[in-house]
Structure 1
């Protein structure tokens, strides 16, 4: 699983604490710092070099959009997601134009925050050339050929990525039981996530026939999901 080091820039300490707790439900996510002002956020971004920055817009010493603009002008390409109460169209357009890769309007769900981390991981692990379907998935482009539908009910995005990463890192096909052991999920839960990966084309299903009984189902990552973890 790709480890993700996160910097929070949020002046509401309660909100920052809640977001930290939500993020660190994933054992491979670590919040390395928390800043309450633009100045602190800029200093920590330089000192800690996080993988992902969650940035508020309204801060005591100015706008997070200005800090994002400053980072991009410096050539800093760190993934930055805006997490803010600013829901006006102008703020959203400005954030996206200045290089924000995601934008969450408060209040949001834990699943939506996990999706930010999942998309960040996918961007980091992409290597080599990309076909259009894979690129569309990384960009979060809507429906179309090769682009996955919204996750069905009961499929958590960060759990899905844990399962996908285990599958991608395995040299051989795995059973649902083996994936469950490696992700600390029950066999049935692992099977449900594996079947979803097969449905959306991110995994393939093989059958292993033994001497007696029903054939075992074995799963392996498809080529575009098996390039390994990022740095």
Structure 2
């Protein structure tokens, strides 16, 4: 199988008035090679201009900004028809702010200080939603599986074993969902730029979690080949395999 084109990086706009915090968040984001911070804004006015000029995939937005509230800016964007994923990253931990953010269409809400793992989870779920949107067919209609992924309800693993990165796991799972027929670990590794052994480890994890199924191809000399396909079982239902 020929390697598929590498996925485009997730283009992120940071909106944070504390320059030190902005640098820390940028460093955290760009540890992921599939993330590119395309701009940084310190005010509502700058954020509004950059969001329109740069058309990022994801906006990480603070609430307390020198010239206004990030919540007001989010409301303005939604009223203007901007549907970009927006996640609040803020020290505002009161319930009213959280409810307003969600009511105005915030994709996620992180309370400072947050962990790198929680930020990785945000990125993985954004990618899952992005893949679901890119997979729309039939004049914009969605089947239930794509809709569930768009809503962040796809197969998720709340507690990942050591060595399983959520972003890489989502890339492997998406490649498997897109495969028209059962594929080998080598096939998946070529598609998502992983070694065969690493791809095999992620595929075996998906099998154990119920998100993939394992087939054996017999009839050849030596050991039977292992082929993987997306699971027909409900998401999150584990297999009986050890």
TM bucket, shorter chain = 0.7 to 0.9
What stretches of structure 2 of length at least 5 have no aligned partner? Answer: 1-6, 233-242
Tell whether the 8 Å contact from 1:137 to 1:148 is kept in structure 2 after alignment: no
Deviations 1:127-152 (A, max 9, x none): 24232x664454346xxxx8644142
Matched residue, 2:205: 196
Matches within 5 A, 1:140-159: 140=152, 148-154=156-162, 155-159=164-168
| TM-score of the superposed pair, with normalisation by structure 1 | 0.82
1:1-231 to 2 correspondence within 5 Å? 1-126=7-132, 127=136, 128-131=141-144, 135-140=147-152, 148-154=156-162, 155-221=164-230
Match of 1:227 in 2: none
Checking the alignment, whether the CA contact within 8 Å between 2:129 and 2:152 is kept in structure 1 is no
Q: Is the 8 A contact 1:148 1:200 kept in 2?
A: no
| 1:15, distance to aligned residue in structure 2 (A) | 2.0
Q: CA deviation at 1:80?
A: 0.3
By how many angstroms is 1:96 displaced? 0.3
CA contact (8 A) 1:151 1:157 kept: no
Comparing 21-30 with 47-56, which one deviates more in the overlay?
A: 21-30
TM-score (norm 2): 0.79
1:131-181 deviations in whole A, cap 9, x for unaligned? 2x664454346xxxx864414232321111122233345455332244345
Q: Which moved more, 1:86-95 or 1:165-174?
A: 165-174
Q: Report the equivalent of 1:229.
A: none
Number of equivalent positions: 218
- Secondary structure at the aligned position of 1:14 is classed as helix
Deviation at 1:7, TM superposition (A): 0.6
TM-align CA RMSD: 2.5
